[in-house]
Amino acid sequence: MNPSIVGVGTSAFGRFPTARIESLAHTAIVEALDDAALRPGDIDAAYVGSVFGPAGIANRVLAGVGLAGIPVYRIEAACASGTVALHEAQRAVRTGMHRRVLAVGVEQLSVVFDGPIVPEPTDPEGRSGLALPALYALQANRYLAEHGLDPAVLAHIAVKNKFAGSMNERAHLSGAPPSVEQVLASRPIAGPLTLLQCCPMTDGAAAVIVGDGTEGGVPILASSFVSGPAWESGSDEPWSMRTVSAAASAVWEASGRGPDDVDVAEMHDAFTIGEILTTEALGLAEPGMAGRLAAEGVTALGGRLPINPSGGLLSRGHPLGATGLAQAAELVWQLRSQSGRRQVDGARTALLETMGGGAAGVDGNACVVALLGGDR
């Protein structure tokens, strides 16, 4: 079977500490069902991505929309949880196991953390207080030094993504976009990263329905799921980028396409340096060039290759389990020309990437890369 996305939906993204997590998921699932013109009884199985959701979260959120009695799987793969759910949903359809499968991601970080995500205290990073902003800051310092770049190249990522996010009514941070100077002058978090270069802690949900292609939809040309290999401290590559590159290579090979075929992309930009490194690991830019492409407008809305037209994690927010499926929803809207002021003209082929990390000893927990659409 040739899987395709036949329905997508999301909640609004923000901080909703008084909402029930089931209600966030309900909004996304119902929108996806309506989008696909399907009823709950038409769904054969479901995969639910969530990192910090309560025990039984998968069955809880599905029962709320009448999806009980079907095979239900919960997936936790850090930030890639929702995208792994999508990968498994399309695999179930591609292999003929099921005809229609629902992938859901949901997270309510506002009721779990008062500040940044606390590192696992049993890991060396956790014992030393090396939270994710600090880990990405180390990558940023290395990147700037290796390529002889000014920290302003990082700020351009925040400026373009927050400009896109200002046109996304569902985004957590949808206010007026800042200037490069304002990004650099915002509160220091872990040098050289400042507050406006870090994603917010967000609540929200997203849902995608995968069908067997007989009902149309946006084709899933290829999808690759790679778990991080053992981390080699002597590696010349930045942390987690081997995992991203491996997932991308598998997608290019399976689809017969390459980076030059991509019209629009949604990728993991929890921190500005994350988008830069990922753009290069995916083969969309030469080493040392991703930040410069952003500064030149190439990867901004209106440029040759818009990246994160939703506003990315930096603006839409990062509700861990829901992030990858929110990215997928944005790309489906782009390929259908339903993105309003954020619309990328002529978008026919879209690239999705989400990387989840944080476990000590591995080069990133997991990465999923998928290619959607297909017209050249």
Whether pLDDT at 376 is above 60: no
3-state helix, strand, coil in the chain (%, to 5): 40, 20, 40
Instruction: Supply 328's token pair.
Output: 């997928």
Distances in whole angstroms, Cα of residue 320 to Cα of each of 110, 171, 304, 376: 12, 14, 29, 32
CATH top-level class of 4-113+200-373: alpha beta
Q: Which residues contact 309 (CB under 8 A, 6 or more apart)?
A: 164, 264, 266, 301, 330, 334, 339, 342, 344
The predicted model scores a pTM of: 0.97
Instruction: Supply 91's token pair.
Output: 């695999």
The residue written with tokens 């999806």 in the block is 67
Whether pLDDT at 239 is above 90: no
From the list 26, 156, 172, 318, the catalytic residue is 318
**Is omega for the bond preceding 192 within 30 degrees of 0, making it cis?**
yes
Per-residue pLDDT, averaged over 46-70, amounts to 94
Type and span of the H or E element at 64: none
pLDDT band at 359 (very low <50, low <70, confident <90, very high): confident
Share of the chain above pLDDT 70, in %: 99
- C-alpha 285/C-alpha 299 separation (Å) is 10
Q: Which residues contact 249 (CB under 8 A, 6 or more apart)?
A: none
Whether pLDDT at 235 is above 80: no
Mean pLDDT of the chain: 94
At 178, the amino acid letter reads P
The residue written with tokens 């040739």 in the block is 2
What is the per-residue pLDDT across 82-136, written as a single tens digit (0 to 9) for each?
A: 999 999 999 999 999 999 999 999 999 999 988 778 778 888 877 887 888 988 9
Whether pLDDT at 366 is above 70: yes
What is the per-residue pLDDT across 183-200, written as a single tens digit (0 to 9) for each?
A: 999 999 999 999 999 999
pLDDT number for residue 375:
59
Q: Which residues contact 325 (CB under 8 A, 6 or more apart)?
A: 8, 10, 28, 49, 82, 83, 85, 86, 103, 104, 105, 206, 207, 208
79 assigned to active site: yes
From the list 79, 198, 199, 367, the catalytic residue is 79
- Name the burial class of residue 138, with classes exposed (0-12), middle (13-18) and buried (19+) by CB atoms within 10 angstroms of its CB: middle
23 three-state secondary structure: helix
What is the per-residue pLDDT across 269-316, written as a single tens digit (0 to 9) for each?
A: 999 999 999 999 999 999 999 999 999 999 999 999 999 999 999 999
Instruction: Supply 171's token pair.
Output: 């985004």
Nearest to 276 by CA among 308, 229, 310: 308
318 assigned to active site: yes
The residues spanned by each domain of the chain are 4-113+200-373
Contact 103, 93 (CB under 8 A): no
Q: What are phi and psi of 78, to 5 degrees?
A: 55, -140
